Structure 1
Amino acid sequence: MGGDERSLRGRVALITGVSRRQGIGFAVASRLAAAGADLFLTHHRPHDEDQPWGADDLTAVLEGVRGRCVDEQQQVRELAVDLVDPDAADRVVSSVVAAFGHIDILVCNHARSGGDGPVGSLTAEMLDAHWAVNTRASLLLVQAFAAQHDGRAGGRVVLMTSGQGLGPMPGEIAYAASKAALAGITLSLADQLADAGITVNTVNPGPVDTGYMTPELTAQLAPMFPLGRMGEPDDPARLIAWLVSDEGRWMTGQVINTEGGFARWRPPATRE
């Protein structure tokens, strides 16, 4: 980020889905804290509690982010919120504006995962649940963010997709569809918000070990990475930190795959 550890000093970043120290949201928040930004973090612990990896200690999560701050004046605030609520996006943005006066950076890192399936097992409730959190909430957050933005330099939006355009995800149709919508709308959002001085980009982090990968899954995927290791949370976090910095100001309307050369069709090394 230009060699300046305080390159985001004076800017405020809203990052959703920061609930686990192994997560991408925590890695992004840590990077932006180290760049001098003030942070407002959201989380929804019940979602993690329903997952195989379980919930983390939120106090430890927040203290971990605060430990990366470089100035005593920096603030890190947080809010528990379920983004399935149609009013949640406006409530979150209003809370950040009340706390800091303005938001410069929005990173929509939250995601609903699990409770999904292939064609043949889908229900309207399953599809609606993924759409509401992954897509609707993200778009409403972008809208609320843009409404409060006053045109100052440094307006940034980063959305998260899931690489569903690079290879099939047959067991996660609801999730893949909700994430595909974000990739598909990126250019339209970027075009509309450019006049307000806001860049919009979407990041596909690829397979990242955020604590959900079993040894069996790691063994299956590892041979597909030419660089010889799984993705780590800080890998996409470095890209996102660059996108929201001044050095990323000329990048907008892009869907960026940061997958370490991951090749979905490369057979495991043990096969002939």
Structure 2
Amino acid sequence: MPALEPPAPEALRRDPLPLRGRTALVTGASRRGGIGYAVARRLVAYGASVYLHHHVPHDAGRPWGADPDGPEAVAAAVREARADPEARVVHGPADLSGAEAPAALIATAAEALGGRLDILVANHALSGQDGTLDTIDAAMLDAHWAVDTRSVILLIQAYARRRATLPGRTPGGRVMMMTSGQDIAGGMPGEIAYGLAKGAIASATRSLATSLAEQAVTVNTLNPGPVDTGYLTGAAYEEIAAMFPAGRWGMPDDPARLIAWLATDEAEWITGQVIDSEGGLRR
């Protein structure tokens, strides 16, 4: 077996804009307190152009509410983080519970970014409308399946079909999905429908990675653990903070840093993984 040559010195030097010229779709980026917003800011800081997907009615119907200044304010704040002045930041709505919506969103995002889509971060999810084993019903299960699982798979399907039109093994293809702590310690007994739907995403990770390997696309799933996105306060908030060795919750930028790194060429050999990024959470 021939000896492997070590990387040339220039290959070891870090590019300050490792995503320059690449394009990304980040779903669920509708408010400045969320993970999707933090991810988008990291990607543009690395040089990428980004399409921000939002579904304002979802957040408006939750206790934390929609961003008070709307999606354009979110996009404007992302633009402030741009390192490449030629990078584009655009946004648009989509209700991904519909069967045709994921493919339409992929097409819209790709065209808005110049026709090619390199990075897909499926960050959106249905929050609430869930319960325990005793209280869930078919409608709850179907709603979470449609948004948290089916739409993600259909997004990846449409993304893969578009990538297949590119020549050869075009570099830079990345898919990142989001799961939760449904398989750790006591699971999520109060969120059966959500935990089931997110568990399906984690379970599908390796199969999806194998499916996209011929296109040189990596597929990984991130479990960010409890992240402070404004959904909990008071004694319950402090109780969870005490479960972290650092004494604080995860912040949106914590998973965003990992996702942005996975999007770079430095992570091209990492695929098919479900990665727990929980700050040493004690469950």
TM-score, length-scaled by structure 1: 0.95
Alignment-derived partner of residue 10 in structure 2:
none
Partner Cα separation in structure 2 for residue 228 and residue 10 of structure 1: 39
Post-superposition Cα deviations, 1:215-240, rounded to whole Å, max 9, x if no partner, equal: 22211112211122110000000000
Alignment-derived partner of residue 254 in structure 2:
235
- What runs of 5+ residues in structure 1 fail to find an aligned partner? 265-272
Partner Cα separation in structure 1 for residue 21 and residue 236 of structure 2: 42
Partner Cα separation in structure 2 for residue 63 and residue 215 of structure 1: 31
Alignment-derived partner of residue 27 in structure 1:
38
Q: Which shifted more, 72-81 or 194-203?
A: 72-81
Match of 1:160 among 178, 187, 201: 178
- Superposed displacement of residue 71, structure 1: 2.1
Map 1:82-93 → 2, pairs under 5 A: 82-93=95-106
- Superposed displacement of residue 4, structure 1: 2.9
- Superposed displacement of residue 3, structure 1: 4.2
Q: Determine helix, strand or coil for the equivalent of 1:39.
A: strand
Partner Cα separation in structure 2 for residue 169 and residue 93 of structure 1: 31
Contact kept, 8 Å, 1:38 with 1:75, in 2: the verdict is yes
Contact kept, 8 Å, 1:4 with 1:35, in 2: the verdict is no
Contact kept, 8 Å, 1:10 with 1:36, in 2: the verdict is yes
Map 1:16-165 → 2, pairs under 5 A: 16-56=27-67, 57=69, 58-99=71-112, 100-149=114-163, 150=166, 151-165=169-183
Amino acid at match of 1:104: D
Post-superposition Cα deviations, 1:34-87, rounded to whole Å, max 9, x if no partner, equal: 011011110000000111000002222111101011122111111111000110
Is 1:9 equivalent to 2:31 in the alignment? no
Partner Cα separation in structure 2 for residue 11 and residue 259 of structure 1: 28
Map 1:187-266 → 2, pairs under 5 A: 187-264=206-283
Partner Cα separation in structure 2 for residue 198 and residue 3 of structure 1: 22
Q: Determine helix, strand or coil for the equivalent of 1:202.
A: strand
Partner Cα separation in structure 1 for residue 177 and residue 84 of structure 2: 27
Partner Cα separation in structure 2 for residue 3 and residue 169 of structure 1: 40
Q: Determine helix, strand or coil for the equivalent of 1:255.
A: strand
Amino acid at match of 2:177: L
Contact kept, 8 Å, 2:245 with 2:280, in 1: the verdict is yes
Aligned length: 264
Partner Cα separation in structure 1 for residue 265 and residue 245 of structure 2: 31
TM-score, length-scaled by structure 2: 0.91
Partner Cα separation in structure 1 for residue 94 and residue 149 of structure 2: 16
Contact kept, 8 Å, 1:160 with 1:179, in 2: the verdict is yes
Contact kept, 8 Å, 2:22 with 2:49, in 1: the verdict is yes
Root-mean-square deviation (CA, aligned residues, Å) is: 1.2
Q: Determine helix, strand or coil for the equivalent of 1:224.
A: coil
Partner Cα separation in structure 1 for residue 254 and residue 181 of structure 2: 15
- What runs of 5+ residues in structure 2 fail to find an aligned partner? 1-12
- Superposed displacement of residue 97, structure 1: 2.5
